[in-house]
Amino acid sequence: MSRIKDIKFILREYKFKKPFCIAHSSALETENIEIQLITENGIVGYGESAPSFRINGETPEMVMSLESKVREMILDKDVRHYREIFNITDTLISSPSLRAGVQFSVIDAFCKECGIEVWEFFGGAKNEIETDRTVSVRPMKERIEEAIEIYKEGFRVIKIKVGENLNEDVEAICEIYRLTRGCRYIVDANENYNPKEAVHLAKRLYSGGIDISVFEQPVNRYNIEGLRYVRFNSPFPVCADESVRSRYDALRLIKEEAIDMINIKLMKSGISDAMSIVELAKSANIRLMIGCVSESSIGINQSVQFACGMGCFDFCDLDSHLMLDESEYRGEFKQIGSKMKVG
């Protein structure tokens, strides 16, 4: 039988190898929730929730407190009827990272029942993707050193966090560009510029001969007009991250012509909404990126399987597990430098 017999939440604590810093925020450690879904015939499906208070208003305590509620919602449901379970768990509107972990654990169990890989379930489009690595917001010298280290490790897509000091951000990007030529660059402001500042930064970089592949979330998530202003006045493609947590957010931004690209994160949208956003974006000729929050290898595995199966992402920002000090690697993919391989 494929019915769900039990579901368990296990709190896991991880430390970052070094502080992870974005504008006005830093983290030394993270608490994630491992989800184990057990079927009647003993199959275990695994998922992970990586709660983010900054993005979703979630805390680990909130997610853990929902264990009995989730058990009540899906106990005795058949994992072969995963869409029914998706519809039930979509009601967890205040905890999208929990939705993602539970929904993935259902798919994982279903695939084990059927004898297929999860990336095949999602479509089997490709068996390899390439991830970027991230340069945190740090003092100038440390940012440059981190970028050079990433380059020497063989990564050729570099994400640069910005948003605290515009002039220093421009200087850092210019120097990183000079020292790591041949890379592609994602500049991520995490909502910390106003529209005029964002356009000013983009035009200064452009006039300096610097090419940016993605200008990510330059303004506040709720400032849709501001996002649209940046899009129509920036020489670089504008990507929404924090502005898109649901398929309804994606639909609105597409209708408002506010973006060139969407960064899908399973921790923001769950599996069900992420699948919907993919199809919306493809219909509107909007490019896609897939990102992460602070997932461990078991959580990043969810996004790797999704990205490989869908095969529609121009950029993959799936490096959080590389920042964490994990005692055991648990992803069902091979990490070979910047490449992530399944199958």
- Catalytic positions: 161, 265
Indicate the SS3 state at residue 20. Answer: strand
CB 158 within 8 A of CB 133: yes
Q: Which helix (H) or strand (E) holds 168?
A: helix 166-179
Cβ contacts of 6 within 8 Å, gap of 6 or more? 37, 38, 71, 75
Neighbours of 88 (CB within 10 A): 14
Residue type, 159: K
Secondary structure (DSSP) of 236-293: S-EEESTT-SSHHHHHHHHHTT--SEEEE-HHHHHHHHHHHHHHHHHHTT-EEEE--S
Q: How does strand 339-341 pair with strand 287-290?
A: unpaired
Q: Which helix (H) or strand (E) holds 92?
A: none
Distance between CA atoms of 152 and 288, rounded to whole angstroms? 27
Residue type, 11: L
Q: How does strand 334-336 pair with strand 339-341?
A: antiparallel
Distance between CA atoms of 231 and 215, rounded to whole angstroms? 9
CB 172 within 8 A of CB 160: yes
